[in-house]
Amino acid sequence: MRPGLPCLLTLLCFLGPAMGKTLLPTNSDFYAITTAESSWSTPTSGSSLFIPTSGSSPSIPTSGSDWSSSSSQSQSFSNFTGSTDERGICQCSVVLPDTTFPVERVERLEVTAQAISKKFNKELSKVKEYVQLISVYEKKLFNLTVRIEIMEKNSISYTELDFELIKIEVREMEKLIKRLKVGFVGSTVIVDQLEIEIRNMTLLVEKLETLDKNNVLAIRREILALKNRLKECEASKEEIGPTPPAPGSCAHGGVVNISRPDIVKLNWRGFSYKYGAWGRDYLPQHPGKGLYWVAPLDTDGRILQYYRLYNTMDDLLLYTNAQQNRITYGQGSGIAVYKNSMYVNWYNTGNIARVNLTTNKVARTQTLPNAAYNNRFSYANVGWQDIDLAADENGLWVIYATEASTGNMVISKLNDTTLEVLNTWQTRQYKPSVTNAFMVCGVLYATRTLNTRTEEIFYYYDTNTGKEGRLSIVMQKMMENLQSINYHPFEQKLFVYNDGYLLTYDLVFQQKPQ
């Protein structure tokens, strides 16, 4: 309350009788007067304020006896009391609170509130960030869960597969060393030493199963060295062994035998991708420097979308330094790679496409005249391979069938740049009865199934002489179906895609008489 208010109330008490009205309440009707300060007289806690009502001046009692004389007439409202004495003087008693306002405490409260507000906003921003991160990690966790489920369904991991393949190779060497001990004439010191090394290799493989994949490469190198020594030892049994032709040379009498399969790897897309092809690019100018390529088809066994290129076999074994490309028009596993170009059957047509491996762009397309396509005359047990491309020492070939040939195999020599047909040969072998085929030095070799673990090279057609005939060269295989066979002239190997597994075979050629 302002300091002038008590003066105003006193003035109203004086003016009341002159106006004939009671301006201030009497008896029990009182007003509370609360003020923080007063310029004329400020009662302290428990003091009284007297306001005259009949012309007398205001007075302030100086002793507690003045209050007790009228205490019977006083009436209390909240923090004040008031009454009139026998002389008609209005007496008001006001209890004033502590007049000091806690400014410093309020300021501290404001500072604390601002600090709490800043901390809250900071924590709120962190919560929003965490919510976004949780969303990202949920997606990653879902993808990882899907991958783990796939591996659980397949019941084997790639690392386990690597060591299983190595164990198979070691067991094969153990069988070979036992045969050597039986049939070897003379000192067996070398054979005994090899047998000890193979046993040590078995123990080493078991230890390495707990280590990383980099050791797989080291153990494979040791196995390769042992294999070479075993071959040399086996060759020493014969007084005169056949001399293999020079790499890339056709100075031989054709294929007469084939080695057991060398199991290289499962294809990089997994067990479900049973159809596809793989091999090595053949560059006649640089025959030992071609890229390795792996091209699994989609699970439908028809569409080729992704393929990978590797500079070395070591990169392929470890799935490292791979160049992955995508195309949208490949069909079937009749794929060949020659002179840095990939040749494929264009989807849903009888056309051939040449893809530049450096740019992954189509360099040329060409229709193969009269060729049947879209499963009209594909191989037995392998769909969408009506048009099968192949490469050998003489260049690029295509194996197919036409309506005019009534499904019998047709061989055409192609220009590897323009894809134009240079020459064509008709055979008498029905293509759908053949499981696969490959070309070596201009000679077509066809295979057929004997059982789930054995294939046979049973037919040949020599484009150099126009002769055809029967063979009986048995091929062991890991799985039931051969999806593709590609020959590499420099390595003189077959690269076979066998229900998703990558295999290689060494070819044995007939030596020409001197």
3-state helix, strand, coil in the chain (%, to 5): 30, 35, 40
What number of residues does the chain have?
Answer: 514
Is domain 255-511 classified as CATH 1.10.3720.10? no
One-letter identity of residue 505 = Y
Would you call 271 helix, strand, or coil by DSSP? coil
Q: Where are the domains of the chain?
A: 106-224, 255-511
Would you call 231 helix, strand, or coil by DSSP? helix
The pTM is what?
0.58
Check pLDDT > 60 for residue 55. no
pLDDT digits (tens, 9 = 90+) for 300-336: 999 999 999 999 999 999 889 999 999 999 999 999 9
| Residue bearing the bigger pLDDT, 70 or 311 | 311
- Report the candidate in 325, 357, 360, 316 with the shortest Cα–Cα distance to residue 338: 357
Would you call 159 helix, strand, or coil by DSSP? helix
pLDDT digits (tens, 9 = 90+) for 232-291: 776 665 544 457 788 889 999 999 999 999 999 999 999 999 999 999 999 998 988 899
- In whole angstroms, give the CA distance from residue 32 to residue 261: 112
Q: Which helix (H) or strand (E) holds 147?
A: helix 103-154
Average pLDDT over residues 136-141: 65
**How does DSSP classify residue 16?**
H
pLDDT digits (tens, 9 = 90+) for 85-99: 788 788 777 766 666
Helices 189-208, 214-235: inter-axial angle, 10-degree rounding: 160
Query: Exposed, middle or buried: residue 277 (CB in 10 Å: 0-12, 13-18, 19+)?
Result: buried
- In whole angstroms, give the CA distance from residue 145 to residue 151: 10
Residue found under tokens 């070395």:
312
- Report the candidate in 218, 224, 189 with the shortest Cα–Cα distance to residue 204: 218
